[in-house]
Structure 1
Amino acid sequence: MIRNIQKTILLGFVTFLIISCNGNKSFKKNNPEKIVEHFATDFLDDDRIHSVSIAIYNKGKEATYHFGEQNPNKKNPPTDTTLYELASVTKTFTGTMAAKAVLDGKISLDDDIRTYLPEAYPNFEYDGEIITIKDLLTHTGGFPNFPPTDESKKAFWTGLHEVEISSKPGTEFHYSNTAPEITAYILEKTYGVPYQKLIHQYILEPNKMTNTKFVLNTNDQNLLIQGYNGEKEPQAHYQNNLWGGISGIHSNTKDLIKYIKYHLNDSIPEVRESHKNFFKTQYDFDIGYHWNIVEIENEVCYRHHGGIWGMQNWFMIFPESNIGIAVLSNASFEGTVLSKGIDDKLEELALNIIKRIK
């Protein structure tokens, strides 16, 4: 009797495993839409999050998805025309433009950055060791996260005289929102073209990213999604008074697929150059031309996170698999001991989808 009961339980368990495995296999491999819907719905279970937009390029197939509502209780989901602030993902545009400048002979990675600056900065060294272009791109120049002043370009340069470099350049990674603005200025000076126009001329226009902009017109403003904090309070949009090397680009899901395709095309010289690996950080990633470079399931991933008041997004490409993804949300809140912040939740969302559609 006991043996028969045990046999029944065992057969039931095996049957459950077979059904589960078969269902999971179908879920993983055969229905990308179902995969995205499943994990997006799970992501939106957090009532601090209102919506999420997802752009995927998968071996020649393009898809965009939108869930939730732009404004709480308004039943107005985002669409392909909805604009998001990309925040620090803007740095990948700066890095790509810097890669082109290197190939064009406008700058050299080993140049002393003071060669290009509008004033003398004897403080931009450490024990006689100079700060190079490469140090700017890898956040290893010793610059503070935020500049002493950013109210205007003039104030920016004045404030930089206060900066003290406390470590040998090129040896320690310290994330900086100061260095990329210096890079943007150097690019502007060497080409003789305003930085934002350079991005338009060499990246946006060739890739027909017509809805990706620094400056928004009246119609664009109406398409810009409102951001919220964890208490569902509307947040002000970011205003960059400098060049825009750190943040300031707005885009939508359709244009982000174009940006994914651009960076998956390794035959483009500046793309190939921009994916070079320069420095191993003390964290779980390496860094090159502002790309954070990680290995995920034995494959190299180039990625960057962008976060600003009321907005969060991740951008990731996997060249070996010819896959890329962008996930964006109009909510922003930090994690606690008991719960993840939205940046972690978005990263998890992107990776859960990628791992099941590859």
Structure 2
Amino acid sequence: MRSAIIILLFFAMSITASAQTLQQRRVDSVFALVKKYFNEKNADAVYNLTGDAFQKEISIIGWADVAAKQLFPLGEMKETALISFVNNSMATYKTAFNSVTLQIFISLDQKNKLETFIFKPYTEPANNKTALVPTSNPMLSDMDKQVDTVARTYIQKANTVGLCIGIIKDGKTHIYQYGETKRGNGKLPNADSFFEIGSITKTFTATLLAWYVNEGKVKLTDPITMYLPDSVAVNQSLKDITLQNLINHTSGLVSVPDNLNDSMTDPFNPYKDYTKQLMYSYLRTCRLNSKPGEKYAYSNLGVGLLGVILQYVSGKPFEQMVSEIITRPLGMLSTAQYLNPLISPRFVSVYNSDGNPTIAWDFDVLAPCGALRSTVNDLLRYAKANMHPGADSLSKAIELTHHITFTKDVKIGLGWHVIPVNGISYYFHNGGTYGSNSFLAFNAEKNIAIVVLSNAYEPTDAVAAGILRKLQ
């Protein structure tokens, strides 16, 4: 059957965050109802748990036919176990039926209705690597050993390839390298290796917004319709959305626009062909899922739209703004959307959820969501600038991004989320594509920062959170 599956998004929250616990409980509660109605062979009740996107793909009659002919003959759902919860949205349950074991993928839309509901054969995860993956870790200090304990649980997995970790603690910087930049090449990723950083890009977009606010070019309270073409601004659903709503994910906009799939030419490179024209086409007739400012709901579309507005205000492309306002002043010479031929050899190969080679993502209008590529060294410079801002204009913009703007379920400033790790709060963002994962967190009072970059789909949240617990 076809499914109403939405493209996997950049990571929104850490597994350590309370908001994810809340979302996971929501998904678990819906899955419990699915199991109940499935075992009662009540196809209509299951269908009533699904949302608009799913129901666009299959009618209630079509669903009843699929359920009767393909699903209910599997027998009752017996033992079920959550085996992963990715992107704070996509849950995978190992489910034993009478004669077969399957995995069921479930995610919810912003109305807590089923958006993804897919049955697939269950396969046992590949065995972890038996030989120890090479590392630069000298295993001399207590920190070295603590990092290795956590890093090994990640890098020894069958579907991971390379891992680079940067830590600032007590004024000193520590770098740990594991695995390979490309499977089989025997070359450790280092602090100058380029990785996709996914949604960490959003914190750069937030800094740009703060910069232009301080420059008096825009206000956080400006309605977005001030900056949109008349043909788009006429949509009354958009009139109450502010620039702040876009960057703190309270706009009510969907995470990914409905017409993204229509424009996609390569499912492994989903954002490449999504243009400003397509974005405006969607916005002309879209409806919001919640009233602006009332509910946190992670939106790649919202941050992409913010980037379009900032480009309109500045007259400059996204990458140029990032370079002129942030990376060049901070000496971050290895952070960019596009890598020129001189530095592109430092870009790592990327690997999908099965550990097979895939392609790095390209972006058009949604670049402000996750297009940047960077290194551990550069992101540590970025973390330092956030922990210890000075008195210059960039520092003042950085400080503004730390001001908390929303606290219901999620604590967020401008772009930066705040998460607790063993009772200590960190400003944080992570990111993920189909072949990369990233994590950045810092606490200025403790003078602790961590950057974790991987060239695999496997999330790095547990690595970073595990190390932070040991360092505190």
Interval of TM-score (by shorter of Structure 1 and Structure 2): 0.7 to 0.9
- Deviation, structure 1 residue 249: 0.5
The reply to whether residue 272 of structure 1 matches residue 383 of structure 2 is no
Question: Which deviates further from its counterpart, 236-245 or 35-44?
Answer: 35-44
The equivalent residue for 2:253 is 143
Q: Could you list the per-position Cα deviations for residues 185-225 of structure 1 after superposition, in whole angstroms to 9, with x for gaps in the alignment?
A: 22122223222211111110111000111111123322111
The reply to whether residue 326 of structure 1 matches residue 451 of structure 2 is yes
Q: Could you list the per-position Cα deviations for residues 233-265 of structure 1 after superposition, in whole angstroms to 9, with x for gaps in the alignment?
A: 211110101162101111111111101111112
The equivalent residue for 1:165 is 288
Hey, what's the Cα distance between the residues in 1 that align with 2:388 and 2:203?
15
The reply to whether residue 107 of structure 1 matches residue 218 of structure 2 is yes
- Deviation, structure 1 residue 80: 2.3
The reply to whether residue 354 of structure 1 matches residue 463 of structure 2 is no
User: Which of 85, 100, 123 is matched with 2:235 structurally?
Assistant: 123
Hey, what's the Cα distance between the residues in 2 that align with 1:92 and 1:180?
10
One-letter code aligned to 2:469 = K
Question: Which deviates further from its counterpart, 79-88 or 112-121?
Answer: 112-121
The reply to whether residue 301 of structure 1 matches residue 426 of structure 2 is yes
SS at match of 1:178: helix
Hey, what's the Cα distance between the residues in 2 that align with 1:276 and 1:295?
17
- Deviation, structure 1 residue 326: 0.8
Structure 1, unpaired ranges of 5+: 1-28, 333-341
SS at match of 2:406: strand
Larger relative contact order (CA 8 Å, sep ≥ 6): 1
User: Are the counterparts in 2 of residues 49 and 330 from structure 1 also a CA contact under 8 Å?
Assistant: yes
One-letter code aligned to 1:66 = Q
User: Are the counterparts in 2 of residues 195 and 243 from structure 1 also a CA contact under 8 Å?
Assistant: no
One-letter code aligned to 1:155 = L
Hey, what's the Cα distance between the residues in 2 that align with 1:349 and 1:243?
28
- Deviation, structure 1 residue 281: 4.0
One-letter code aligned to 1:234 = P
Hey, what's the Cα distance between the residues in 1 that align with 2:280 and 2:343?
31
Compared CA separation, residues 277 and 194, structure 1 to 2 (3 A)? same
Hey, what's the Cα distance between the residues in 1 that align with 2:222 and 2:189?
45
The equivalent residue for 1:67 is 178
The equivalent residue for 1:17 is none
The equivalent residue for 1:335 is none
User: How many residue pairs get matched?
Assistant: 315
User: Are the counterparts in 1 of residues 308 and 365 from structure 2 also a CA contact under 8 Å?
Assistant: no
The equivalent residue for 1:210 is 333
Q: Could you list the per-position Cα deviations for residues 124-174 of structure 1 after superposition, in whole angstroms to 9, with x for gaps in the alignment?
A: 537xx6111111111111111113345322222222223111321111111
Identity of aligned residues (%): 27
The equivalent residue for 1:221 is 344
Hey, what's the Cα distance between the residues in 1 that align with 2:287 and 2:456?
35
SS at match of 2:156: coil
Structure 2, unpaired ranges of 5+: 1-139, 261-272
The equivalent residue for 2:360 is 237
SS at match of 1:280: coil
Scaled by the length of structure 1, the TM-score of the pair is: 0.83
Q: Could you list the per-position Cα deviations for residues 90-134 of structure 1 after superposition, in whole angstroms to 9, with x for gaps in the alignment?
A: 0010011111221111111111110011333232537xx611111
The reply to whether residue 199 of structure 1 matches residue 322 of structure 2 is yes
RMSD: 1.9
User: Are the counterparts in 1 of residues 353 and 434 from structure 2 also a CA contact under 8 Å?
Assistant: no
SS at match of 2:342: helix
Compared CA separation, residues 41 and 296, structure 1 to 2 (3 A)? closer
SS at match of 1:206: helix
One-letter code aligned to 1:72 = R
Hey, what's the Cα distance between the residues in 1 that align with 2:369 and 2:295?
20
Question: Which deviates further from its counterpart, 151-160 or 111-120?
Answer: 151-160
The equivalent residue for 1:247 is 370
Hey, what's the Cα distance between the residues in 1 that align with 2:389 and 2:418?
16
The equivalent residue for 2:59 is none
SS at match of 2:291: coil
Question: Which deviates further from its counterpart, 132-141 or 191-200?
Answer: 191-200
Hey, what's the Cα distance between the residues in 2 that align with 1:209 and 1:262?
11
The equivalent residue for 1:287 is 412
Hey, what's the Cα distance between the residues in 1 that align with 2:207 and 2:316?
16
SS at match of 1:170: coil
One-letter code aligned to 1:226 = S
User: Which of 152, 176, 186 is matched with 2:309 structurally?
Assistant: 186
Hey, what's the Cα distance between the residues in 2 that align with 1:80 and 1:290?
25
The equivalent residue for 2:300 is 177
User: Are the counterparts in 2 of residues 112 and 130 from structure 1 also a CA contact under 8 Å?
Assistant: yes
Hey, what's the Cα distance between the residues in 2 that align with 1:58 and 1:153?
42
User: Are the counterparts in 2 of residues 281 and 287 from structure 1 also a CA contact under 8 Å?
Assistant: no
Runs of 4+ residues over 6 Å off in structure 1: none
Q: Could you list the per-position Cα deviations for residues 54-90 of structure 1 after superposition, in whole angstroms to 9, with x for gaps in the alignment?
A: 0111232112211012233332221222100011110
Hey, what's the Cα distance between the residues in 1 that align with 2:372 and 2:246?
20
SS at match of 2:178: strand
One-letter code aligned to 2:411 = D
User: Are the counterparts in 2 of residues 136 and 180 from structure 1 also a CA contact under 8 Å?
Assistant: yes
